[in-house]
Amino acid sequence: MTRLRVYQADTFTSQPFLGNPAGVVPAADGLTDRQMQAIASELNNSETAFVFAPDAADHDVRIRFFTPSVEVPSCGHATIAAHYVRAVEQSLGACTVRQKIGIGILPVEVVPLKDDYRIVMTQGRPGFEAELTPSQREDIQAALGLQHLDLDSRCPIEIVTTGHSKVLVGIRNRDVLNALAPDMAHLIAISRQICCNGYFVFVLGEERDPFLTHARMFAPAIGIDEDPVTGNGNGPLGAYLVKLGLLSVSNGQASFKSRQGEAMGRPGAIDVEVTVHDHRPTAVRVSGRAVIAFKADMVM
């Protein structure tokens, strides 16, 4: 019989039961793939992070991510959760941790605050997938329940990645955003065709709004009908907005705040930073707070 420490940390928030919950198993060495999938299914968060000792000298920690139904190569909010739990458990000071995940080795910064931490993760190199066909875009629009007039004409539907690709869909109105009720079966079918499992729908904020964007994210093909606050959606969004000239750049840097989760009653806030060279996004970082909602022992 094995006894594991298991946490749930609510991310992109400093208040329990808001933001995006993630499971964290901080000492996962020895677990099999089957056991990790069973734990993730039992916790039933959109992702659970399993933390392992390094297996080479080029990184400090290994992390694997599981949804309730499948392993994924990268996860924004579960990365924040895992490193927040590590920082709390180990009383870490300011440091940069080299994490090995499914897309490679990337740095994560632990930033101490007064009696707390902020976590900053560097995502994978921004990439723009092959252009969707007009019929594919219409299919996505229909599955989301959107009319053509709902779309933001400045923002073509496009697949963008910083390690785990998302379909980005810009629309004009927050009321429409909050009322979305997608056809999940239709989205799953489209995901099989386009090899992308997440649909990140966003609205550019109004003047004087402290948040540049408000968003929702749907990924039923990997067992997540809706994700409250999504690092792997907001990161690609930053690269996309730079590409379209919709995010101001100064001295090679662009940044914005995004709010997500309002329609689910779990709002959270993400800070996104984009490094720009020759008018192209070359690196993306997302950061946020977290809070531990509970710690428990699980007997396997």
Q: Are 22 and 46 in contact (CB under 8 A)?
A: yes
Cα 179 from Cα 47, distance rounded (Å): 25
The token duo for 150 is 């709902």
Q: Cβ neighbours of residue 286 under 8 Å, at least 6 residues apart? A: 76, 120, 121, 123, 231, 234, 235, 238, 270, 271, 272, 273
Q: Cβ neighbours of residue 225 under 8 Å, at least 6 residues apart? A: 184, 218, 219
Which one of 47, 89, 129, 138 is the catalytic residue? 47
- E strands, 142-300, where? 158-161, 166-171, 199-204, 213-219, 224-227, 253-260, 268-277, 280-288, 290-299
What are the beta bridge partners of residue 151? 171
Look up residue 267 and give its amino acid: P
Is 158 a catalytic site residue? no
Catalytic residues: 47
